[in-house]
Amino acid sequence: MARIVMKFGGTSVGDVDRIKNVAQRVKREVDAGNEVAVVVSAMSGTTNQLVGWTSAISRLHDAREYDVVVASGEQVTVGLLALALQDIGINARSWLGWQIPFRTDGIHGKARIDRIETQEMERRFAQGQVAVVAGFQGIGPDARITTLGRGGSDTSAVALAAALKADRCDIYTDVDGVYTTDPRIVSKARKIERITYEEMLELASQGAKVLQTRSVAMAMQHGVRVQVLSSFVDVPGTLVVDEDEIVEQQVVTGIAYSPDEAKITLVGVPDRPGVAGAIFGSLADAAVNVDMIVQNVSQDGQTTDLTFTVGKADLDRASHVLDKLRNDLAYAELVADSNVCKVSVVGVGMRSQPGIAKTMFQTLAEKSINIQVISTSEIKVSVLIGADYTELAVRALHTAFGLDADADS
């Protein structure tokens, strides 16, 4: 007997028939003698609609009421799934975040989980009851409803698996695993059997959309065994595991791309101590996340150019903040470009194998793709390129790093 958390995303519970299909999958695990908690998202499209309604009513909405509205999608799906399970003879009940309770901090709209009280749920496991849990939501210190940020039900599932000391956390979705890159743009993308937490974390934060980044960080921290698999076809998925569980390690495991970036260049920034601190301090105060940064050495000792990237959604806010700084800093010009894409190659094998950056840059050069900004970590090399070259770059790199599926396999 094992204890497992199963998580189903929006497309997996997108209509009544799909919810019945989920119930059958849950039944299989119950029939195998397992203790089961099921975490569900709202039906696909629902949360977007709820978010749309809140902004249509009020642009400067009260974040506490926003959470009340957007958390409601999951209330529908937990109730429906509990009914579907009861209908096929499974003892099941629904749980909203506040009922468990799923305690979070008070940062409405992107709350962090503090603690999950699972005693009652575990008592009911012992009586054979399945827990159907609303993802994405919790209860804050002031007893008001909170949500965990878009895509947050992955994090709900992993956190619950950690709290329950579950043997597995199976994330069911509309793809059958994690691929070496986006199969929609590279037909030769391959499914990865096992991937390390660190690689998954990099891929998720560099633009691969399979798992919410926070859920991967949490799985890594608590050693939760995560499996990504399809809710529609019965094939093995991808296991996210510790590095020592991977026998044959590729140097590059996957290639991610993120079109959600924008580039800002400040031309003629005075070259003196404190300037970078002032610029990035002001951006941080305005809650703008900065990703890649390059600063040139100044030729004349007077001024330099500073280039960095921010999320596309933050570009206006960032420009506004920097405009205001211009009085103090007296830089010459601000140039913004949102027609860019970040492409990253990721793999823990890079730690021990030199030459990855060289192969990456040469491959792009052969396709006449200009590199605008570079950044690296121990297990990743990222470049910023013109958005129009995204597909070409990803395909060429996928081939260059030997990731293409064999034509005959």
Tell me: does residue 41 bind ligand ASP (CB under 6 A).
Answer: yes
Residue 49: in which H helix or E strand, if any?
A: helix 46-57
Piece of the chain touching Mg ion by CB under 5 A; list 2-10, 232-240, 247-255, 360-368? 2-10
Residue 306: in which H helix or E strand, if any?
A: strand 303-311
Q: How far is the CB of 41 from ligand ASP (least distance, A)?
A: 3
Q: Find out whether 37 and 130 touch, Cβ atoms under 8 Å.
A: yes
**Residue 209 or 272 having the CB closest to ligand ASP:** 209
Q: How far is the CB of 82 from ligand ASP (least distance, A)?
A: 18
Kindly report the CA angle at 355 between 350 and 356, in degrees rounded to 5? 55
46-85 residues in contact with ligand ASP (CB under 6 A) are 47, 73
Alpha helices in 336-381 (DSSP H): 356-366
Q: How far is the CB of 301 from ligand ASP (least distance, A)?
A: 50
Residue 164's binding partner, choosing from Mg ion, ligand ASP, none, with beta-carbon cut-off 5 to 8 A by kind? none
Q: For residue 244, which of 282, 286, 197 has the smallest C-alpha distance?
A: 197
Q: How far is CA 184 from CA 55, 281, 335, 391, in A?
A: 32, 39, 32, 10
Pairwise CA distance, residues 297 & 295, whole Å:
7
**Residue 70 or 350 having the CB closest to Mg ion:** 70
Grouping H, G, I as helix, E, B as strand and the rest as coil, residue 200 is: helix
Q: How far is CA 87 from CA 9, 23, 73, 208, in A?
A: 21, 9, 22, 37
Tell me: does residue 331 bind ligand ASP (CB under 6 A).
Answer: no
Tell me: does residue 136 bind ligand ASP (CB under 6 A).
Answer: yes
Tell me: does residue 151 bind Mg ion (CB under 5 A).
Answer: yes
Tell me: does residue 9 bind Mg ion (CB under 5 A).
Answer: yes
Tell me: does residue 14 bind ligand ASP (CB under 6 A).
Answer: no
Residue 227's binding partner, choosing from Mg ion, ligand ASP, none, with beta-carbon cut-off 5 to 8 A by kind? none
Tell me: does residue 137 bind ligand ASP (CB under 6 A).
Answer: no
Tell me: does residue 10 bind ligand ASP (CB under 6 A).
Answer: yes
Interaction site with ligand ASP (CB under 6 A) = 9-10, 41-42, 47, 73, 135-136, 150-154
